[in-house]
A = this chain, B = another copy of it.
Amino acid sequence: MNEDKSEFLKGTLDMLVLKVVALGPIHGYAISQRIRQMSKEFFQVQQGSLYPALHRLEDRGWLKADWRDTETGREAKFYSLTAKGRKQLETVMRTWARLSDAVALILRTAE
């Protein structure tokens, strides 16, 4: 398993977060809600997974954060995608496509 593939064995979370942030600046709490709702309740991201993930993605230069006000007038940390993050998202989506094809190849083999 090379590095890119291992990313997926370790989880799809990073990809999902990148994708959601790519739709427009959004804060952490809303990201988890959005992922849950977009996946029809399948993914229920825990905060203990989400926040470390966000910091990880920021450290790698894929996301940048700034504090803004919510519609409800609260302060929240809004994340946006960097140029690097956009490239990473594309890469990772291509890898996901290949991975799910590979899995399908194996799973569909008749017994």
Residues of A bordering B, CB below 8 Å: 1-2, 5, 8-13, 15-16, 19-20, 22-24, 35, 38-40, 42-46, 49, 93, 96, 98-103, 105-107, 109, 111
Q: Are B106 and A35 in contact (CB under 8 A)?
A: yes
Q: Are A1 and B46 in contact (CB under 8 A)?
A: yes
Q: How far is the CA of A103 from the CA of B16 in the complex (A)?
A: 8
Give CA–CA (A44, B53) in the complex, Å.
26
Q: Is there an interface contact between A12 and B43, defined as CB atoms closer than 8 Å?
A: no
Can you report 28 A-B residue pairs in the complex whose CB atoms are below 8 A from each other? A1-B43, A1-B44, A1-B45, A1-B46, A1-B49, A5-B42, A9-B13, A10-B10, A12-B103, A16-B103, A19-B106, A19-B107, A20-B106, A22-B111, A24-B111, A38-B105, A38-B106, A39-B103, A39-B105, A39-B106, A40-B102, A40-B105, A42-B99, A42-B101, A42-B102, A43-B102, A96-B103, A100-B100
